[in-house]
Structure 1
């Protein structure tokens, strides 16, 4: 017998979404305008990479979330819902400074790209709590995390001399730690024994692999998309370096997965997730990479760190800290992001001829990481405490990871 229709969808989700969307429409009606100044140049520079980023956000992350046997519709459908809400909200928050000084929020393709990058951070975090929350939880989480991400950017620009912040530097770290602290607060005792419906098979794994391939193919555009503002001459270099790092990361994940298996078999979940680790690490360290072999070495190291973390760290995080990370965002985004940050720091110091400048950069770089982690953990704790309220009607343990809790399937309906 199918589970009863989730009360949160009838009495909470629909009014909440309608109220939220009507509020967005009202704000856009009074305060948002399209900026046509220099529109031709911006359109030529940003529209192709915007298309690539759009594919990553909606197809890449959407298909990637379908690996669970009974949670495919929810994984892809909720990904779409949260993405479109987060993008609209990011437009408003990112344009707040423009509204304060000019009275209007001016948007163009560049601001749309920035909004989708904020959204990518949210989609990373959702992977940590996937299957254990309802759409109301995810919507509130998206609103809070986008606010935290924009707040973190403002703090970095205000407290530190950051003229052109590399969003990729903080994207993966912010998203991973936000999701981890959130899943820690929303911990369920059922996680220790394993949820009954938290399973995957070859069919769902194949669909999820399609999402990985979308992300893998378009990741070079993702890492180079904001180079136009800070290092326009290095966009081609960013594309080539990212591709090489991703290629080596794929090879490394094959090798390390085989070595970590007692029977020498390749774990498909290792390969599916860890081939992206090179793109994460090289994106964070991109401004200081000078040679192709450096990008390739980073890709290999990231694949090793990610695969080993995937293989051994996940269970320890669950039993030691009560942190049930559904999509292993720590191994796929958190650890490679920290590795890229460390490589960025070491290479920048090594390339600097002036010791004083090197020390200043080291302090500055460490402060960027500490502020980012502090903001992500703080916002994650606040969001987790908010989501713990029973008013949001979280799904029962037996209904976690189950599409039938939220979706109507005619062929499963009880007919009298």
Structure 2
């Protein structure tokens, strides 16, 4: 039974946001090295292993730095390419996983917890619960009412741009789709590629689908579609793809051969005018240029829903059901839940916000403060397509389907019929 736990504006982040299997994935793989200072203490809890998808330079350094302050056990981090980790997670958890693994809140957490592939951490929550809003606890809770996840950071999706470019050209954030299209046309006439775009890794295009679907059909329809309860051949879904197709001429071409990092760099280099992505796009900007980065929420399409919904995924940690050092793993999760750990994360990674209500937001950059404000004002928060639906549907159906659309945006009817047929075989 689908018991996903949607987050509403009322309870989301009233604390934090309102304030401002390749070899490496088998377990203890090729990058199985001690974190720089996973020390030992009198209360030695042995060795704790982490399977990490934080493969980009900044997130990797962030986790390593947080772990340095953990002295109750020796920590070994096995870092695997982010996409490889995600695509092989099911096999990984059924094989010989590390004790702790990086993962996502909400439906994606519930899916593996329901299969008995995660350790109940309700006792951890009895100690850390006071540091989180109820919404974060809800997103960490399985369908059985137990907690299986500890949130660390989150980030909103929006349309990012360079303030200096927009000031030079006289651009203004659009409030409607018509204004957005007109802006893209002006950028094109000015010699800019209007919309940076990349989908080599399969997931970035999901963000475009999410926001268009929520803007056109509303949050409730979107989460129902993700749960397999709506038909992909519904005219409402076709309208999403028709709208997207109308924007394709403004997208950066050859997207299937480009990574999100490369698209982010094109924005940093002032070759593109705007980019719909998570706030982690800031990682691709030199530190000296980050103050020039700003954003607006994707504009209104259907007045019935306005701009009431956004994607704001929550990242954190779980303990595998096959963990060899459960006591050490739980101690590490408590450490990573501390405001002090999350303060390190938000300081080192300009594209993240702390999940803990006790985190220090006084040091947030202007971009981080704006991100927290955006989330706090949203009525509905989605976790992202590949986190709001079954992982097998996301990876085997939606990734190739969206890449097919990006490659040939004119073939909508046959594409949606194919998605619906595959969905029917998965959601039984």
Please report the TM-score for the alignment, with normalisation by the length of structure 1.
Answer: 0.25
Structure that is richer in strand per residue: 2
Give the TM-score taking structure 2 as reference length: 0.24
